[in-house]
Amino acid sequence: MHIVVLGMNHKTASVELRERVSLSQDALEQLLAELRDSRTVMESVVLSTCNRTELYALVNSIRAGQDYLLTRFTGMTCLDRSVVESSTYFIQGEQAVAHAMRVAAGLDSVVVGETQILGQMRNAFQTAFEAGNTGAMFNRLFREVIHVGKRAQSETTIGQSPVSVSYAAVQLANKFFGDMSGRKALVVGAGHMGELALQHFHALGFKQLFVANRTLARAQSVAQAVGATAIDLANVTDVLSDVDVVLSATGAPGYTIVAKDIAKALKARKHQPMVLLDIAVPRDMDPDIANLPGVYLYDVDDLDGVIEANIQERERQSVVVESMIRESVEAFSNWLTEQEVVPLIAALRAKGESIQQQVMESLARKLPNLTERERKVLNKHTMSIVNQLLRDPIQNMKELAMASGDAEYVSLFAQLFGVDEAAIASQSSMAARHLSAEATFVELFQRMRGEARRMTEDNRVLHPVLR
């Protein structure tokens, strides 16, 4: 069995091509069904986001697996196979495992360290699990993948430093005022940057938000998503005195906000401080505003330094995350190698027990007058001989296989001890069923724990009402 991944992301394909392989829920279910019915793919998980689509698969042949997955991709795009092949990447073995962990940890994202991808990876695995596309191998693998992603978020600061202009600007205001619960903010411009800034302000818990735009309908559309108040751009001066933070991102020619309007607002505010964030190019705010007392004006150049420092900090933290990934890849590889050796060990033990049982049956025929107690003593001591003879070889098998990471030793050991392939295959099947049952139990337990947590939260909310 081989772990492989065939994917397309922001590094290898244009947005137009990525859109062709971005999957709706129905298309995802259909693809999972096709993978589930394939004789080439044993287990599978499909990850589909705006920046990547990846097919993770456990296959019995690397070449056949690559060809099959590439055929699926080609069918999704309706393009020539050569075009799709040149825009995808194919990774196998430990590198595929490491890649999955890097994706979950945000190291392979457009913005290094972004945290949304971990939830998307978790949902991809959960969907595949519930559809019956995963088994013992991928249940274990993706638990490790998700665990690494969680560690990256909880044990490092890789996702905590803002690296977009709008986010950096909002965080700057947050640091200035501290508690946002009683503050008000105005966003001037309802384009992409303005909309993002409005969402960031909303996430910080501002008391009230305003959004102004030249087209009122657009402002209303953006405002509705976060419960903000939409106003016409011509009426911005009416609310200036009522807000603590103003962020402008129109990109219109000329100044949208001038010094005299801010001076008038300050007077009405009794000179309480204001933070003005101009992230537009060309600038929306008159530079003379910076000369007014109680005003703190920042433009894109001021934010660039913050963003660059945060990018460097994320890169430093990524080194720590890469170390976590190496540890997890090694642990998973050791587990994988151990799974290869376990069926041989079980088959070897079964052979030893069979020989011991044959000896006991022979003794029973040759010494028919043995008492029950004597038979038990003989059984115990002959079994002890078998266990002592097998103890060191079994330990050495484990250590050698783990140290080398090479499952080919299994075949060599089998030949040395005269264990046939049928016996190993039988034990492998039993081990797989055991692992699958164990994984299913773990998943069930996690769901029950999550449901219990939700019920506890519901009770906490309802208790005062009921009382």
pLDDT in tens, 331-363: 888 787 777 777 777 788 888 888 889 999 998
Taking the whole predicted model, whether its pTM rises above 0.75 is answered as no
Handedness of CA 436, 442, 445, 446 (dihedral sign): negative
User: 159 pLDDT exceeds 50?
Assistant: yes
Cβ neighbourhood burial of 207 (10 Å; 0-12, 13-18, 19+): exposed
459 pLDDT band, cuts 50/70/90, is very low
**Distance (Å) of CA 121 to CA 49, 118, 158, 417:** 9, 5, 18, 44
pLDDT band at 24 (very low <50, low <70, confident <90, very high): confident
With 60 as the cut, is the pLDDT of residue 432 above it? no
Average pLDDT of span 61-68: 93
Angle between helices 192-204 and 216-224 (to 10 degrees): 40
| pLDDT (mean) for 101-128 | 89
Nearest residue to 257 (alpha-carbon basis) of 227, 279, 278: 278
Query: Partners of 296 in the beta sheet?
Result: 275
What's the Cα-to-Cα distance from 41 to each of 35, 130, 155, 255, rounded to whole Å? 6, 17, 35, 60
Extract the annotated binding site. Answer: 49-52, 109, 114-116, 120, 189-194
Q: Which of 15, 50, 281, 403 is catalytic?
A: 50
Whether 50 sits among the annotated catalytic residues: the reply is: yes
Please state, in angstroms and rounded to a whole number, the distance separating the CA atoms of residues 119 and 112: 15
User: Tokens standing for 4?
Assistant: 């492989």
Q: Please tell me the predicted confidence (pLDDT) of residue 450.
A: 52
Sequence ranges of the binding site for substrate: 49-52, 109, 114-116, 120
Residue 401 is predicted with a pLDDT of 65
CA dist 202 and 387 (Å) reads 67
Instruction: Give the pLDDT band (50/70/90) at residue 433.
Output: low
What is the rounded CA–CA span in Å between residue 145 and residue 121?
Answer: 9
Annotate 440-451 with b (16+ C-beta within 10 A) or e (fewer). Answer: eeebeeeeeeee
Q: Reply yes or no on whether the pLDDT at 141 is more than 90.
A: yes
Domains and CATH numbers, the chain: 2-155 (3.30.460.30), 165-293 (3.40.50.720), 332-458 (no CATH)
Dihedral sign of CA atoms 288, 290, 295, 301 in order:
positive
- Which of 117 and 406 is assigned the larger pLDDT? 117
Q: Which residue has the higher pLDDT, 76 or 103?
A: 103
Contact (CB, 8 A) for 110 and 51 = yes
Binding site, annotated residues for NADP(+): 189-194
Mean of the pLDDT values across residues 430-456? 49
Question: In the chain, pLDDT over 90 holds for what percent of residues?
Answer: 42
For the cut 50, the answer to whether the pLDDT of residue 436 exceeds it is no
Of the spans 107-116, 288-297, 380-389, which averages the highest pLDDT? 288-297
Tell me: pLDDT of 58 over 60: yes
Least trusted range by pLDDT, from 22-31, 195-204, 396-405: 396-405
pLDDT at 352: 85
Whether the pLDDT of residue 458 is over 50: the answer is no
| pLDDT for res 157 | 80
The residue ranking higher by pLDDT, 106 or 340, is 106
The DSSP symbol for 244 reads S
Band of pLDDT at residue 460, cut at 50, 70 and 90: very low
pLDDT given for residue 466 in this prediction = 35
Higher-pLDDT residue of 164, 323: 323
Q: Is the pLDDT of residue 455 over 60?
A: no
Average of per-residue pLDDT values in the chain = 83
Min mean pLDDT across 209-223, 257-271, 403-417 is at: 403-417
The reported pLDDT for the residue numbered 56 is 97
| pLDDT (tens digit per residue) in 164-203 | 677 778 878 888 887 778 899 999 999 888 898 898 888 8
Q: What is the pLDDT of residue 467?
A: 38
Nearest to 124 by CA among 253, 259, 267, 5: 5
Predicted confidence at residue 158, as pLDDT, reads 78
The per-residue pLDDT for 442 is 46
Q: What are phi and psi of 339, to 5 degrees?
A: -65, -30
